[in-house]
Homo-oligomer: A and B are copies of this chain.
Amino acid sequence: MTEKRTAILLILDGSGDRGVKKLDGMTPFQAAKTPNIDRLSKEGQNGLMDVIAPGITPGSDTAHLALFGYDPEEHYPGRGPLEALGAGLDSRPGDVAFRSNFATVDDDMVVIDRRAGRDFTEEEGAVYKDVIDGMAIEDITIQFVHTVEHRGALILRGQGLSADISDIDPHETGKKILTCRANSPEAEKTARIINKLIQEVHKRMKDLEVNKSRIENGLPPANVLLLRGAGKHQDVSTLEMKFGTRSAVIAGGALYIGTAKYVGMEHLTVEGQTGTIETNFSNIADKIIETVESDFDYVFVHIKATDNASHDMNVEEKVLAIEKTDKMIGKILENVSTRIVIAVTGDHTSPVSIGDHTCDPVPIILWSDFIRADDVEQFSEYHAAHGALHTIRGKDVMNLLLGYAGHIEKFGA
Contacts and interface: CB of A to CB of B under 8 A. Distances in A.
Contacts of A229: 413
B58 A411 contact: yes
Interface string A89-100: 000000000000
A275 interface: no
Nearest to A52: B411
- Judged by DSSP, the binding face of A is loop
Contacts of A1: 354-356
Contact of A56 (B48, B399, B413): B399
A72 interface: yes
Contacts of A63: 412
B396 A54 contact: yes
Give the number of times this chain occurs in the complex, counting copies: 2
A88 B295 CA distance: 47
Interface in A121-140: none
Given A55-B403, A56-B399, A372-B381, A2 B354 contact: yes
Interface in A336-381: 353-360, 370-372, 374-375, 381
B2 A356 contact: yes
A173 to B, nearest CB: 23
A18 B399 contact: no
14 contacts: A2-B356, A18-B372, A27-B372, A48-B388, A55-B398, A56-B411, A60-B412, A60-B413, A63-B412, A359-B404, A360-B372, A372-B381, A375-B382, A385-B390
* A-B residue pairs, 4 tightest by C-beta: A59-B412, A55-B399, A62-B412, A55-B403
A48 B372 CA distance: 12
Contacts of A387: 385
Given A2-B356, A354-B1, A381-B372, A58 B19 contact: no
Contact of A55 (B56, B79, B370, B401): B401
A399 B412 CA distance: 23
The number of chain A residues touching the other chain, given as a range, is 35 or more
Interface of A: 1-2, 18-19, 27, 48, 52-63, 72, 76, 79, 229, 353-360, 370-372, 374-375, 381-382, 385-392, 396, 398-404, 408-413
Contacts of A386: 375
Contact of A413 (B48, B79, B354, B374): B79
B2 A408 contact: no
Nearest to A360: B372
B354 A55 contact: no
Nearest to A16: B372
A2 B62 contact: no
A155 B134 CA distance: 61
B57 A410 contact: yes
Contact of A412 (B61, B372, B411): B61
A358 B402 CA distance: 12
Given A18-B371, A54-B403, A59-B410, 14 more contacts: A1-B355, A1-B356, A2-B356, A27-B372, A54-B399, A55-B404, A56-B399, A56-B408, A57-B409, A57-B411, A60-B412, A61-B413, A62-B411, A390-B390
